[in-house]
Structure 1
Amino acid sequence: MPRRTATMLASTLMLIALLCAGVLIPVPYSEMSPGPTVNTLGEHDGEPVLQIAGRKTYPADGHLNMTTVRVTSADYRMNLVEAVYGWLAHDNKVVPHDTLYPDGKTEEESTQENAEEFSQSQESAKVAALKELDIPVASWVIVSTVVKGSPAEGRLHAGDVIKAVDGKAVKAPGDVAGLVTKHKPGQDVVFTIVPAKEQAAAEKARRTATKTQDVTIRTAASDDSGEKRAIVGISAGTDHTFPFTIDIKLADVGGPSAGLMFALGIYDKLTPGDLTGGTFVAGTGTIDDDGKVGPIGGIAMKTVGARGQGAQYFLTPAENCAAAAKDTPAGLRLVKVHTIDDALAALKDIRSGDTADLPKCTK
């Protein structure tokens, strides 16, 4: 065999081997890409995203789109060829697998966590919008989760309303941990609660739950390094009763990042006129009960997805501004927001056409 032919054959076989290796060898990476956007003022899968009953609502035109990111599943194993392609693709981002699924989290665990965060973001969006409109919302501290195998298991249950700890009234979730950690591990702590079933029955009957009971729990030591704290194995949260019904109908979406856009959509539905003036506005950001907007992940993917759908303005959490400004899609204007008040002020300027002084995102 001529030397030239042998060299070409060897090179071809090596290339084939490298390609096979690239396809067969898994790498510890996952991929993020722009996901769909949904207009909170419109419909999704044939039904309104925001459904409000028991209160006068107003028609709202324009777009207040929440944005999403697609990610590869927890059990998907990317190969080297896919990773290289993802690195080269402008609109995709390849990240270490543990960034999206830390501590070996399974697909089921991640889905459950995202569903819980999405549910909480809806509650906070409702509260923030109604507070902005000076509509009273009743709230109370509840048991959010109970750790399996903890002292509280079987004694407290998710949804129990925590009225007091050791006889001291509880007004915020943080009060619970503060009162429990006043004890030393091994000491008893007394929770005064309204059981979840009693609270649910009271809400259904539109009455105030009055039946309480005391639950005594022996504290355990935390597994922190250093000095051990007293714990009972619960996390506390907040639940609310709204003066009318607000339902958010959006399946197959998870995480907390749509909170701001849901809050703005609710506000728009409950007030005359259009917040956007018919303009296509998209955005993202978590929101708490007081209307503070927090950062999210995948900001670059969300701006690309929003612009691809026609968005002209993008409401951007202040803490995400620098990252978003590094590679802003052409034709999309980033608007920095810290709170729902900032977002409403920006929308006022957008619908009036006075946009010269909109807060900007800079690198």
Structure 2
Amino acid sequence: MRKNKWIRTITIGMMLAIVLTFLKLPFYVTQPGMATELKPMVEVENGFHEQGTFRLTTVRIGRANLYTYLWAQTQKYYEVFPIEDVKYEGETDEQYIKRQIHMMEASQQSAIKVAYEKANKPIRLKYKGIVVMQVLENMPAFNILKMGDRIYEVDGQEIHTADEFIEIVKQKKAGEMLTLSIERDGHELTKTIEVVPFPDQRDQVGIGVSLITDRELETSPNIILNTKDIGGPSAGLMMTLEIYNQLTEEDITKGYKIAGTGTINEEGKVGPIGGIAQKIVAADKAGVDIFFAPNENGAKNSNYEEAVQTAKDIDTNMKIVPVDSFEDAIQYLKTQ
């Protein structure tokens, strides 16, 4: 009788443990990821070899269950975020992944453009319209446009960039209409949407979408990028450095392990990212010598300041270098 009671207790306990493992909480847990070599991901035709390595740094992220949530509370470089701080309202996991991939692709294009221009190599841009990344609830575009829609005309006018779209909308008054020509799943559609004030910015009007510019790059020499498992824009700076180094005869790695993080735009400006402390930890574990951190033009509590504080905290010998631009990183490496 007592034996049966113990069996029931153990069985119930195991079932409860399984339930708690698979029961997802409305939180995400992040932790230090890896410092991954970029050379296997970047292949410039007849590119030059390098003695050192450029590495992108990552943050691991996963949906929390009870165990991971509680464990994260005890670990210094783990962080817990409410689900609304990670995903857009109403965004599915599939849409979130797709958005991250689009952001990475846009970052890659900026990286290629900056690197090829700095190396004085031919590059031509072919614009393919703009892509919808998010549609806001309680705004006119909701239930009319979808994530992934490609907008190529506004009011009969061909557009090439997200900035062009924004300029057209700025000229509209509340209550006026926009006629959009879009491509969705291989089909061409026409949508008419009202322009209204934003709920939290009544002096500005829009339809409630966030957009990215879609374009194709033609380069010489040819380049192949294999980053299918990476999302988001934070590898922009390091991707640019790797591409540039393969394009030029001088090896600016000089045998060092070089990591870093930061977005990159078409002008080569480096922007801030999230999870800088976790990326410092990941780079230190990989034995990195130099780490580039976004300086944010010297702003208080910048990525760079947080990186320096983390480096002190974990007692690393890694050199933390502030950068505001791709040019800053190049100049630093050339003086080493």
Mapped pair 1:115 → 2:117: no
Find the aligned partners of 1:217 and 1:85 in 2 and give their Cα distance: 48
Q: Distance in 2 between matches of 1:189 and 1:92?
A: 45
Look up the equivalent residue of 1:137 and give its one-letter code. R
In structure 2, how many angstroms separate the alpha carbons of the residues matched to 1:271 and 1:62?
A: 15
Aligned-pair distance for 1:90? 3.4
**1:151 touches 1:217 (CA, 8 Å); kept in 2?**
no
Residues 291-310 of structure 1: CA distance to partner in whole angstroms, max 9, x if unpaired? 11111111111111111111
Q: Distance in 2 between the 1:242 and 1:116 partners?
A: 19
Return the alpha-carbon distance in structure 2 between the equivalents of residues 103 and 40 of structure 1. Answer: 33
> Could you tell me how far 1:91 is from its partner in structure 2?
3.8
Deviation string 1:231-270 (CA, Å, 9 cap, x unpaired) is 4968352413322432211332211111111111000000
Give secondary structure in 1 for the equivalent of 2:266: coil
Aligned partners of 2:269, 2:130: CA distance in 1, in Å?
Answer: 23
Kindly state the Cα deviation for residue 112 of structure 1 after the two structures are TM-superposed. Answer: 1.8
Aligned to 1:203: none
Aligned identity (percent) is 25
| 1:345 match | 331
| Counterparts of 1:236 and 1:256, CA distance in 2 | 12
1:233/1:185 CA distance change after superposition, 3 Å: farther
Indicate conservation of the 8 Å contact 2:292/2:323, yes or no.
Answer: yes
**Structure 2 length-normalised TM:** 0.74
Larger Rg: 1
Give the direction of change, closer, same or farther, for the CA distance of 1:141–1:106 in structure 2 (3 Å limit). Answer: closer
Q: Which has the higher strand share?
A: 2
Residue 253 of structure 2 corresponds to which residue in structure 1? 276
1:61 alignment partner in structure 2: 51
Which runs of structure 2 are paired with 1:184-333 in the superposition (5 Å)? Answer: 184-185=173-174, 187=176, 189=178, 218-222=192-196, 224-225=198-199, 226=202, 229=205, 231=207, 235=211, 237-244=213-220, 245-318=222-295, 319-328=302-311, 329=314, 330-333=316-319
* Equivalences, count: 299
Q: How do residues 2-151 of structure 1 correspond to structure 2 at under 5 angstroms?
A: 29-41=27-39, 43=40, 49-53=41-45, 56-73=46-63, 76-79=64-67, 82-101=68-87, 103=89, 105-134=91-120, 135-140=122-127, 142-145=129-132, 150=141
Cα-to-partner distance string for 1:37-81 (whole Å, 9 max, x where unaligned)? 21112x2xxxxx11223xx421122111001010123xx3234xx
Q: Which stretch shifts more, 145-154 or 268-277?
A: 145-154
Deviation at 1:325, TM superposition (A): 1.8
CA gap of 1:234–1:311, structure 2 versus 1, over 3 A, is: closer
Structure 1: give runs of 5+ residues left out of the alignment.
1-19, 44-48, 198-212, 351-363
Secondary structure class of the residue paired with 1:327: helix
Residues 120-176 of structure 1 show CA distances to partners (whole Å, capped at 9, x for unaligned) of: 11111111111222334325361212859849959xx845545x7666x85753222
The answer to whether the 8 A contact 1:176-1:236 is kept is no
| Match in the other structure for 1:174 | 163
RMSD over equivalenced CA pairs, Å: 3.8
Distance in 2 between the 1:339 and 1:321 partners? Answer: 13
Distance 1:165 1:59, change over 3 A: farther
Deviation at 1:35, TM superposition (A): 1.1
